[in-house]
Amino acid sequence: MIAKPLWLRRPIIASDKITATRKALKDASANTVCESANCPNLCECFDRGVATFIILGDICTRGCRFCALRSGKPLPPDASEPQKICDAVAALALKYAVITSVTRDDIPDGGAAHFAEVISSLKGRIKDIRIEALVPDFAGSISSIRTVHGPGLDVFAHNLDTVRRLYGTVKPRSDYEVSLSVLRKSRDVSRDTPTKSGLMLGLGETADEILSAMEDLRAADCEILTLGQYLKPAGGKAEETEFVPPKMFAKYEEMAYNLGFARVSAGPFVRSSYYAACLNNI
């Protein structure tokens, strides 16, 4: 285990806004990835009245070695969840909502129809809402991808997470090429909807492998990229192999722009939905 450097130390803050955000989420019975994945940005985002919602339960069918979420046999989808998400988004007065989910290999469409119901409900109830869906790989199903796009999605996101070589150990039940195909297929479904992906650094990848992954993402016509530091959650998860300095993140951001990404956010605390509305110019 290696010691965390100074740039990865974040103060714990308390404010009336954080309390109000927690209350709005609790009152709506809406689940957030901020809480379930132990995001280091939780206090900062809640203090801005922003949260990223997670649907389809809190039990994943995959069990990737970087993730804080539980793996196992999930419960059936909650039919009232679209209403709960709408209530939470309305209470927080959000104009941009990020919806993600656990992976649901137990559902034939991977949960795509449930995503669509949540998106449709938000679009129908909240005027001018913009929605980003951060989806699992749906086993590469273009039918599921098309379903998520159906209600008028604004940003389609799917994280590559790590480099090709590490998939076997970090994401043993997932496939690098399938993830790339999800982004390509999204562009086939809708050329007008931006695609977005993210990489975690500090899992043992090399600089050349990071560059190769970014090149693969551009070849898949991915337009928006996030790069952040992997931080090990509690339990028997993958260890951090290094803590990437902020200056190196700045170099990777420059490399990504040189490859042709339209928008890039890179830094130790950057996560997929961190300042998503600003990153996506919405």
| pLDDT computed for residue 124 by the predictor | 96
Averaged pLDDT, 237-259: 96
How far is 90 from 122, CA to CA, in rounded Å?
9
Sign of the CA dihedral running 106, 180, 227, 168: positive
Strands 52-55 and 59-60: unpaired
| pLDDT computed for residue 62 by the predictor | 93
How far is 236 from 255, CA to CA, in rounded Å?
33
Q: What is the pLDDT of residues 181-234, one digit of tens each?
A: 999 999 999 999 999 999 999 999 999 999 999 999 999 999 999 999 999 987
Quote the percentage of the chain above a pLDDT of 90: 85
The domains of the chain, with CATH numbers, are: 15-279 (3.20.20.70)
SS3 category, 70:
strand
Q: What is the pLDDT of residues 49-102, one digit of tens each?
A: 999 999 999 999 998 989 888 899 999 999 999 999 999 999 999 999 999 999
Query: 2 falls in which pLDDT band (50, 70, 90)?
Result: confident
| pLDDT computed for residue 87 by the predictor | 97
Helices (DSSP H) in the chain: which residue ranges? 16-28, 33-36, 42-47, 81-92, 112-125, 142-149, 167-170, 176-189, 207-219, 246-259, 276-279
**Cβ atoms of residues 71 and 62 within 8 Å:** yes
How far is 213 from 78, CA to CA, in rounded Å?
36
How far is 263 from 86, CA to CA, in rounded Å?
28
**Cβ atoms of residues 208 and 163 within 8 Å:** no
